[in-house]
Amino acid sequence: MDKEIVTPPSLAEPHGFNHGFLVEGGKTLFLAGQDASGPDGEIVAPGDLVGQFEQVMANLDAVVTEASGTSEDIVKLNVYVADRDAYREHLAEVGEIFAEYVDEYPAMALFEVSGFFKEDALIEMEGFAVIDEEGGESP
């Protein structure tokens, strides 16, 4: 499977995301929205955006791993937050957590929303991964 970052020279250099990925081969995994629910279904780290972000990444990683991939195979994420300013205030911590899962940021979009299914949720993410037919990280 081939995975290539697409960065048009006519766009600003991306920081904390990539503009796009061109992928050939592999299997597409559609990632459902993951909030910060732990194994018991309850929100982890109520009131703590960074703690919830960490749980969301762990949840996404669990889905990709179950499909024989890694977090490196995630090529697109939509990030939904209750408070965009709070997310921006914690970009350094969020970036550190991302670095635990990926070497390259996926293509991303950020949305501020008025609420989530679970009242204690501060963040939810969903997206796509492309997993090599053999499984594991793509080149």
The pLDDT tens digits of the residues spanning 111-121 come to 999 999 999 99
Give residue 138's pLDDT: 46
Residue 104, pLDDT above cutoff 50: yes
Give residue 139's pLDDT: 47
Give residue 15's pLDDT: 86
Per-residue pLDDT tens digits for 48-99: 999 999 999 999 999 999 999 999 999 999 999 999 999 999 999 999 999 9
Give residue 3's pLDDT: 84
d(CA 34, CA 138): 23
Q: Which residue segments constitute the domains of the chain, with CATH numbers given?
A: 2-131 (3.30.1330.40)
Give me the chain's average pLDDT, please.
93
